[in-house]
Amino acid sequence: MQVKMHGKQIEIIEGNKCKKGAEYAQEEVLNPRRVLTSSVLILGGELPIVSVKTLAPIPKEKVFDALAEIKRTVVNAPVRSGDVIIKNVADTGINIVATKAVPRKNMSL
């Protein structure tokens, strides 16, 4: 697929086999976004980390800011799948949520 630009405007999108392909190419050129997946440290959990992801794609230029914010984040167990771990990550309006449950570590012997 090829996208021909004139300045910041798309002139032609060609080579796509369907309408969705053209829509994808337009979005990728004008406003690239990515779903971000990572992990966050967890204290007192059965596991040392919990997997997380953005609830929606974030602007590509915000990915490294979001990763830096995730790296600084530590949560306490228990964590449930779907729990909001970071609200409005990197000022994108998008939340970071847990993608799995991590129970609290059983401390009794």
**46, 36 in Cβ contact below 8 A?**
no
Structure tokens at 55: 């609830």
Report pTM. 0.80
Statement: residue 16 has pLDDT above 90: no
Statement: residue 72 has pLDDT above 90: yes
Domains of the chain by start residue, with CATH:
2-31 (no CATH), 34-98 (3.10.530.10)
Statement: residue 108 has pLDDT above 70: no
